[in-house]
Structure 1
Amino acid sequence: MQRADNRKFDEMRKVKITNQYLMHAEGSVLIEMGNTKVICTASVEDKTAQHLKGTGRGWVTAEYGMLPRSTGTRKQRDASRGKIDGRTMEIQRLIGRSLRSVTDLDKLGERTIWIDCDVIQADGGTRTASITGAFIAMAEAMKWMKDKGMISSIPVKSFVSAVSVGIVGNEILLDLPYEEDSSAKVDMNVVMTDKGEYIEVQGTGEDSPFQSEELFKMLALAEKGCKELNLLQKEIIGDLE
C-alpha cells in the first residue's frame, strides 16, 4: 500500500528533538514526530512519594495532557470537566512506569522527579513520543542534580524509547500517524530499552484477531524504530556516567 506521506513500511516519521526547550524546568524538550508535537519537562522535588518516606528511595511520576486545540476539534480541559479521563490516566501511568523501570530509585535519594508531557499537536503516537521525549528530560534533570551535588552519579540503568506499529489493510507499518492509526486492524505501542528489553507491549486487535507470526513481525519492526530513537537520544544527551 502507498502511505499518505510516501514513507516505506518500516520507516519512521521525521523526528526532531529540541533539548532545553524551556528556561525554568530542570529538564525539558520539545519532541516532534511527524506532525505530533509534545513538550516534556522534568521537575525535581526535594521529597519522595508518601509511601516511600523514610526508605531512602526516590520516585518518578508523570502527568500527561492534551491542549484543547491539539486535535481537529477542541478537547475540553480536564480542569473544566472536573476529572481526568480514563485515557489520560492510562497514558500518564504508562509514562511513569516506563521511566521508573530504568531508574535506580535508591540512588535518587528521597526526591521526586515530576514528568509533565503536554501535547500541543496530535497526529498519532502521542504516548510513544511522550515516553521518548520524557526520558531525555528526566536524564537532563538528573544531570542537573549531579551538578548540584544532590547525587553522585546518574541513576539510569538503560535508555528507554517507544514507538507504535500496526496492521493497516494487509500491511504491517511502523510509526502510525492518526490517519493510519484510526483505520488500523491492529494497533500496538511498544516500549523498549536500548538493550533490547521490553518494558511494555500494548496490542489490540481493533478489527479482528491477529496471529503470532504477525505479532513477531510487529515486535521486530518496533525494535528497529526504538533503536533509531535510542541513537538520537544518545546524540542529544551524551554521556550519562
Structure 2
Amino acid sequence: MRNDGRLFGQLRKVKLEVNCNKFADGSCFVQIGNTHVICIANVDETVPRFLKGTGSGWVTAEYGMLPGSTNSRMQREVTKGKASGRTQEIQRLIGRTLRTAVNLVALKERQIIVDCDVIQADGGTRTASITGAYVALYLALQKLHKQGGVNIFPIKEQVAAISCGIIGGNILLDLDYSEDSLAQVDANFVMTKSKKIVEIQATAERKTFSQEELSQMYALADSGIGELIKKQNEVLNIA
C-alpha cells in the first residue's frame, strides 16, 4: 500500500469536467489526485509561416504553472522574460502528442492552440495536461466540424498519458509528488487508444533499470492509459 492507500498499480482519483470555460472552443478541467489542470483549445484561422500554402493545419500547445500551484509561490515566467527549459520541453511534448491525434490535412490551413494551466501541482502535471488537452482539442474540433469549417472530422487517434516509477524495488503507477521525489526511476508514457507509443520518457534518477523493469512499467502504463481513455470517452459521450 502507498501513502494514500492505493495499490501499486492503481490510478489516483480521476475527474474530467468539460466546458469549464465558456469562451473557449473546447475546454476541460482535469483532476488527477491533487493535480488540477485547466486545458483550453481555440481555433485560429492562421498557420505558422512554414505551413502557408501547403493546405495543412497545425496543433500547438502552451503550458504553465500558476504562482499558487505549489507549496511556495512560483514566479510567473512572463516576469522572468522567458519560459524555463522545463516549460518549453513540456509544451513541446503536449504539442507533439496532440499532432499525432489529428489529421492535419483535414484541418486545412488553420491551427488549434491548446493552453494547459496548472492550478495545483502534486506530480504528473505533464501527463494530466496531455489527458485533458486531448478532450479540449476534441471538443474544439467537434465544434469546428459542426459549423462546417472542416468536411472530415480531423481526429484520427485518441491519446492519453500517465507516469510510472520505481521506489524501493516496487513499480508504481501514477506517482504523486512525494513519490516522484523519492523515485529511483521516473518514467512518463504517452500512448494511443490503439496501444501505439507516442513517447516514452524514462530516466534513472538514483539507479539504473533493466529491460524487464521497463516492460513492467510499460504494462502498468498501458493499463492506466486504458482507464484514462475510458474516462475521456465518458465525458465526450463516445460509446
* 1:121 is aligned to 2:120: yes
Provide the aligned length of Structure 1 versus Structure 2: 239
Question: 1:133 is matched with which residue?
Answer: 132
How many Å separate the matches in 1 of 2:190 and 2:24? Answer: 25
Tell me by how many angstroms 1:239 deviates. 4.3
* 1:47 is aligned to 2:46: yes
AA at the equivalent of 2:204 = G
Question: 1:172 is matched with which residue?
Answer: 171
Question: 2:107 is matched with which residue?
Answer: 108
Tell me by how many angstroms 1:169 deviates. 1.3
AA at the equivalent of 1:230 = I
How many Å separate the matches in 2 of 1:154 and 1:42? Answer: 16
How many Å separate the matches in 1 of 2:27 and 2:40? Answer: 4
Tell me by how many angstroms 1:140 deviates. 0.1
What secondary structure, in the 3-state scheme, does the structure 2 residue paired with 1:216 have?
helix
**Matches for 1:64-103 after TM superposition, within 5 Å:** 64-103=63-102
Question: 1:5 is matched with which residue?
Answer: 4
How many Å separate the matches in 2 of 1:35 and 1:50? Answer: 39
**Matches for 1:200-219 after TM superposition, within 5 Å:** 200-219=199-218
Q: Which runs of 4+ in 1 moved over 6 A?
A: none
* 1:29 is aligned to 2:28: yes
Question: 1:163 is matched with which residue?
Answer: 162
Tell me by how many angstroms 1:157 deviates. 1.1
AA at the equivalent of 1:39 = I
Question: 1:152 is matched with which residue?
Answer: 151
How many Å separate the matches in 2 of 1:175 and 1:154? Answer: 32
Question: 2:187 is matched with which residue?
Answer: 188
Tell me by how many angstroms 1:168 deviates. 1.0
* TM-score for both structures, normalised by structure 1: 0.98
What secondary structure, in the 3-state scheme, does the structure 2 residue paired with 1:158 have?
coil
What secondary structure, in the 3-state scheme, does the structure 2 residue paired with 1:215 have?
helix
What secondary structure, in the 3-state scheme, does the structure 1 residue paired with 2:61 have?
strand
What secondary structure, in the 3-state scheme, does the structure 2 residue paired with 1:145 have?
helix
AA at the equivalent of 2:160 = S
How many Å separate the matches in 1 of 2:53 and 2:39? Answer: 29
Tell me by how many angstroms 1:50 deviates. 1.2
Gaps of 5+ in 2: none
What secondary structure, in the 3-state scheme, does the structure 2 residue paired with 1:203 have?
strand
How many Å separate the matches in 2 of 1:77 and 1:93? Answer: 19
Seq. identity, %: 51
What is the CA deviation profile of residues 30-75 of structure 1, one whole-angstrom value per residue up to 9, with x for unaligned ones?
A: 0000000000000100111211000110000000000011001111
How many Å separate the matches in 2 of 1:45 and 1:132? Answer: 22
What secondary structure, in the 3-state scheme, does the structure 2 residue paired with 1:235 have?
helix
AA at the equivalent of 2:35 = T
